[in-house]
Amino acid sequence: MHVPRATKLIFNKDEAWEKYLTHCGDNITTNQIECIEKMLACCTSKVGSKHYECENPSCEHRKVIYNSCKSKACSSCGVMLTEKWIAKQLSILPKCEYQHMTLTMPDKLWPIFRLNPWLINLLYRCAVSAFLSFAKKRGIEIGLFCVVHTFGRQLNWNVHFHLSVTRGGVNLKTKRWGNIYFNAAMVEQYWKQ
C-alpha cells in the first residue's frame, strides 16, 4: 500500500495547492508548477500503472501498482534520483578525501534571487570560484562538485550551495599531490568578495 509523503499531504490538505495557485500562481514558474503537480500525481492513476494477475486461472488475485512521478520535487522520487546521481558522481570522481562545506547568504538578499532566479547561476559560479581561488592562492588545483538548493529544511526559500571539495590536489609547481584544508572563515572571505 502506498503511504503519501508529508509534503504531499500538506499540498493536498484543504486543497492548499489549488488555493495557492489561484492566489499566488503568478509568483512561481511553470517549471515549479510542473514539479509540484508531478509530485502530487506520484503513485496515482494520473501517472499510469502496471497491472498484475495470477497465472493460475482459478485465482482471482490482481494487483495494481501505480507508477512513480520521477520528479525531483517529490520526497520519495527525489531521494532516489539523488542517490543515483551520487552513485554516478562517485564513479567518475577521484578516490580521495573530500571536505563538505555549505555557503549561503544573508536572508535579506533571498528575495532578490527569488524574483530574479537567473542570478542563481551567477551565485553558483561565485561559490565555485571562492574555492578555486582559495586553493590557487595556495598553489593547489583542486576538484569539486557543487549542488544548489533553493529551499531550506523547513521548505523556506533559502538559496545555498553544498560543495564537496577534494582535501588536496595537484601542486601547480611540483605537479604532485598536495594536501589542503578549507578553513570556513577564510573561504567565507573569498565568498563575500
Alpha-carbon span 86 to 92, nearest angstrom:
10
Write out pLDDT tens, residues 8-42. Answer: 788 888 888 888 888 887 878 888 888 888 888 88
Domain boundary among 30, 60, 89: 89
* Residue-range definition of the domain harbouring residue 4: 1-89
**Shared domain check, 109 and 48:** no
For the whole model, what pTM was predicted?
Answer: 0.64
* 3 state DSSP class of 65: strand
Alpha-carbon span 42 to 4, nearest angstrom:
9
Across the chain, the runs of DSSP E, i.e. the strands, are 49-53, 62-66, 98-103, 140-151, 157-171, 177-179
**Torsion of Cα atoms, 21 then 110 then 125 then 135, to 10°:** -140
Write out pLDDT tens, residues 72-106. Answer: 777 777 777 778 888 888 888 888 899 999 988 88
**Shared domain check, 83 and 34:** yes
Alpha-carbon span 53 to 63, nearest angstrom:
6
Please, are residues 133 and 165 in contact by the beta-carbon 8 Å criterion? no
**Number of compact structural domains in the chain:** 2
**Shared domain check, 170 and 157:** yes
